Amino acid sequence: MRTWHCEWPRENCGTRYSALFTSTIGSGALCLALGLATMTTSAYGIEMRPFGETEDGTAVEEYTLTNENGISVGFITYGGIVTSINVPDRDGNTDNVVLGFDNLEDYRTKNPYFGTITGRYANRIGGASFMLDGETYTLAANNGPNSLHGGETGFDKQVWNAREVETDEGEALELAYVSPDGEEGYPGTLDVTVVYTLTNDDELRVDYTATTDKPTVVNLTSHSYFNLGGEGTGTILDHELMLNASRYTPVDETLIPTGELAEVAGTPFDFREATVIGERVRENHQQIVYGRGYDHNWVLDRPDDDSLVLAARLHDPESGRIMEIETTEPGIQFYSGNFLDATLVGTSGNIYRQSDGLALETQHFPDSPNKPDFPSTVLRPGETYETTTVHRFLTDGS
């Protein structure tokens, strides 16, 4: 079975979506017969194709946004998962730089959060419980004694409603989900939207908003695993990373922050100058041992406001690709893919071994609901949760 994407000139079809035809043979002829002008997988605009069904028969779609420079980002309505980010290297060769699968079944059954929208609370809540306004809320303990990434059925496993939105910056789609009061133990009906915008300046911008009808806690992130050399091509330990952070939050052996904001100076956690990731990842430092590598939250050096600030810069010296991350968030989780263990077969058919991808998750700090000194993650009725993270793609040749 072969899938062909046939892009109409917009003025002819009156829609911004391309048509998709699936056929064993003769698909090209079908496109021609319909008088379509071009046949391509990377035309400027938005494409949509079916991506299977969930167990209860809910249809899942994959959308692809392509900008004027030919950069494209794919994502599916299941979990809002980013399935591909196709960007050129310094010689103009395009590769997909995020880990993932080529089918819904694997995303449903074995996904270690590749590309997901992660919530209602990204990362861990210690002891799988928290207290808010004098009430104790109990969550699913799905990671040792702790709750990870929103519990058993977090936002990464929900089917989101997609709709196109108008922006001046580029192609954009909004994903919406209403999380019922009590879902996964969290109080309050949470109305969530996530807008993915692919700008013509080669940025993937992610805007999150949420409102609630009862006091609750919220922490949303996007959980792509990046490999700037291309998905399935090997390790990220040779990438250089800069993190704009003088402090990080050390953890206990279950990866819950101790509450301390520790200085990175003189430790393997100092990425204020761009450093090769593999250089210190085998150091016998207690925190590296707890994480089996890097799996920590860095406290960004930023003003206490909602401005977009440079958080991270990732560079693959081999391909020349660079990704810069700006965020309104106070923290970033750098996870060096420590739990990848060669059991998953990725999008292009290669297996993923330890450190074949890394996550840089902008966020509030883990376990904030139990850490009164950390920036608050409480959302109350009448307030709007609003955060933005921008991923900018460039090369060292540009």
- Of 315, 361, 364, 391, the active-site residue reads 361
269: left (phi over 0), alpha (psi -120 to 50) or beta: alpha
For residue 17, give every residue at least 6 positions away whose Cβ sits within 8 Å of its Cβ, in sequence order, or none.
45, 46, 47, 48
Beta strands in 133-285 (DSSP E): 135-138, 147-148, 161-164, 170-179, 190-199, 203-212, 216-217, 221-223, 225-226, 240-243, 245-249, 262-263, 275-276
- Compute the least distance from the CB of residue 307 to ligand BGC, in Å: 25
**149 in catalytic set:** no
Of the ranges 100-108, 228-236, 298-306, 332-340, which one interacts with ligand BGC (CB under 6 A)?
332-340
Per the annotation, the verdict on 279 as an active-site residue is no
Contact status, residue 374 vs residue 365, Cβ threshold 8 Å: yes
Q: Under rule CB under 6 A, how many of the chain's residues touch ligand BGC? A: 10
- 184 near ligand BGC (CB under 6 A): no
Per-residue x/- mask for ligand BGC, residues 118 to 137, rule CB under 6 A?
Answer: -----x--------------
Region of 102 please: left (phi>0), alpha (psi -120 to 50) or beta. Answer: alpha
Q: How far is the CB of 224 from ligand BGC (least distance, A)?
A: 11
Contact between 225 and ligand BGC per CB under 6 A: no
If we measure between CA atoms, which residue out of 194, 115, 137 comes closest to residue 161?
Answer: 194
333 belongs to the binding site for ligand BGC (CB under 6 A): yes
Q: Which of 5, 149, 223, 296 is catalytic?
A: 223
* 362 beta partners: 332
Closest by Cα among 194, 190, 153 to 175: 194
**Number of residue whose CB is nearest ligand BGC:** 335
Binding of residue 113 to ligand BGC (CB under 6 A): yes
Residues 256-315 close enough to bind ligand BGC by CB under 6 A? 295
Tell which one of 100, 112, 230, 369 touches ligand BGC (CB under 6 A): 112
339 is an interface residue for ligand BGC by CB under 6 A: yes
Chain contacts with ligand BGC (rule: CB under 6 A): 112-113, 123, 255, 295, 333, 335, 339, 359, 361
Catalytic residues, which ones? 223, 361
